[in-house]
Structure 1
């Protein structure tokens, strides 16, 4: 039970952000994350068979989210490209605290303006800490697509913030390392 609680503490925040980016409801996202961990508890005897638990849980969250969307929006066909993915940047390290509020707002604005799939991939890799292969498995796309979408995001952030880049600002480079 202790390991289960530690796993919940470790992954629930990222799963919530990911799920929220799909369903756009705090309550529904919380319920889906709870359902993901209930499912995990139900299959606890089969856990040794699962190669990558993190990818497995994100895939369950994606499927539960898409099931919710399909159930509640029966007449609407929704693809990942059409979903409005809202990202959140958590700045809590010493270097990040030195960044002006204006710059943080500009970065958030640029991220919100990215195409939906590009935003989702950026969030999963740079905010949730997933690897390219994990994101590819969760979204059922190739790792090359993940890399290309992330490159687009970083390029757009760089194009929008030239003043900060020219002055030696390194925030965007923080996002460019995996």
Structure 2
């Protein structure tokens, strides 16, 4: 997936690169945190915590490694910490506390993340050709709907319908084959048009 920021510039402390990095991943991190915490304030705090940590440790970012996986790990740990804090402070018991308790191995979660990416690529390949092209242009390349419509010489409505159908297809496939992947999917796919 092409990213609209330069990792090297980010490592050097370039605020513009960091802003682009935040714009690219901020909503995805929020959506992932919110999907577990079900609380906007907590999810926003996680976003701040995650990106503050990235900024503080920016010199250690590796150019050729997956920033998504790195962000995922930080976000997962922050979510886990929030659940543990909730359970201590409010005697809050929730089914996810058991799933995200201190015994959980981050490596297992990262492996699942890689599995979701692999499944996603497979499911995208199975789409009809035009739908696949539209989906990749919008979701992977980040092109505006209007631009895709102009490039493909079809209506904006058709583009929107194809994206909606593609998202339905992905949700159904994940729901059937890898239900736990649906929460991880929000890290790198937005559900809007």
- With normalisation by structure 1, the TM-score equals 0.50
- CA separation of 1:51/1:97 partners in 2, compared to 1, >3 Å: closer, same or farther? closer
Q: SS in structure 2 opposite 1:51?
A: coil
What is the CA-CA distance between 1:22 and the residue it aligns to?
A: 1.4
Q: How many residues align?
A: 113
From 120, 131, 134, give the equivalent of 2:183. 120
Quote the Cα distance in structure 2 between the aligned partners of 1:55 and 1:12.
14
Q: Which structure 1 residue ranges, 5 or more long, are not aligned?
A: 81-89, 130-178
* Corresponding position of 2:99: 79
Distance across 2 between alignment mates of 1:25 and 1:118: 20
| CA RMSD, 1 decimal | 3.6
Structure of higher RCO (CA pairs closer than 8 Å, 6+ residues apart): 2
Counterpart of 1:97 in structure 2 is 160
Give the 3-state SS of the residue equivalent to 2:61 in structure 1: helix
Structure 2 residue 75 is matched with structure 1 residue 61: yes
Q: Which residue of 2 aligns with 1:32?
A: 46
Measure the CA separation in 2 of the matches of 1:21 and 1:12: 14
CA shift at 1:64, angstroms? 0.1
SS of the equivalent of 1:72 reads helix
Choose from 56, 66, 82 the match for 1:52: 66
Cα distance in 2 for partners of 1:42, 1:50 equals 19
CA distance in 2, matches of 1:79, 1:67: 13
Residue 44 of structure 1: CA displacement?
A: 1.8
Give TM-score, length-normalised by structure 2: 0.47
Q: CA deviation at 1:51?
A: 2.6
